[in-house]
Chains A and B, each alone.
Chain A
């Protein structure tokens, strides 16, 4: 199985300051069709996860543009340009290139 490793696992942030989460996969996430199926999810306390990005950098509807996704191959990053209070919670990366699909351990973002 593909192992997804996130860092850091806990990220204290300051409102208005940038933040960054790394996600590394144990194998390349480039599919045979050329696409890279790496997604990011955000889970606020007491809520279900919500997808933020698909295929590395495609932002889902309603996701603020202070969020960005980047990377390739085995190395990916989620960035928040200026953290707001609503950004707290758990962030997960997930690969959908290989079976079984696998998630990172999660990164807890707290003010």
Chain B
């Protein structure tokens, strides 16, 4: 059974940093592209970032470019999202998802950016 387990969310002040992790199991992690998606009550679902199988290719939504960095450790079946210079509008539930077309999602981790 495919499982994705996010961690690392929490409360952070504006301008702060957080590192999200997603631990994968039940599939060959190194064979799949991976993605991050976030959800806010007011804006619905928003695709955030994508990374190819070997980490050689990445993509970001414009609103996080230069602030967020996606990475992966295929030896540990783990996906990361380093989030710097956080803003109030980054407050959301962050999901990791398998593949570029999001065929399986984790349970999400809540990030709250507030002073």
A residues lining the B interface (CB < 8 Å):
1, 37, 39, 41, 48-51, 54, 60, 90, 92, 94, 96, 99-106
Structural contact, A103 and B45, CB atoms closer than 8 A: yes
Additional 14 contacts, C-beta under 8 A, given A96-B100, A100-B62:
A37-B101, A39-B102, A41-B102, A49-B45, A50-B105, A60-B103, A92-B44, A94-B45, A100-B59, A101-B35, A101-B47, A101-B100, A102-B47, A106-B44
B residues lining the A interface (CB < 8 Å):
35, 37, 44-47, 50, 59-62, 95, 100-108
> How far apart are B109's CB and chain A's nearest CB, in angstroms?
11
B44 neighbours in A (Cβ, 8 Å): 90, 92, 103-106
Smallest Cβ-Cβ distance to A90: which chain B residue: B44
Q: A103-B47, A106-B45 are in contact. Are A54 and B103 (CB under 8 A)?
A: yes
- Compute how far the CA of A74 lies from the CA of B37 in the bound complex, rounded to whole angstroms: 23
> How far apart are A26's CB and chain B's nearest CB, in angstroms?
16
Structural contact, B45 and A100, CB atoms closer than 8 A: no
A92 neighbours in B (Cβ, 8 Å): 44-45
Structural contact, B101 and A103, CB atoms closer than 8 A: no
> How far apart are B50's CB and chain A's nearest CB, in angstroms?
8
- Compute how far the CA of A50 lies from the CA of B59 in the bound complex, rounded to whole angstroms: 22
Structural contact, B106 and A48, CB atoms closer than 8 A: yes
A106 neighbours in B (Cβ, 8 Å): 44-45
Smallest Cβ-Cβ distance to A105: which chain B residue: B44
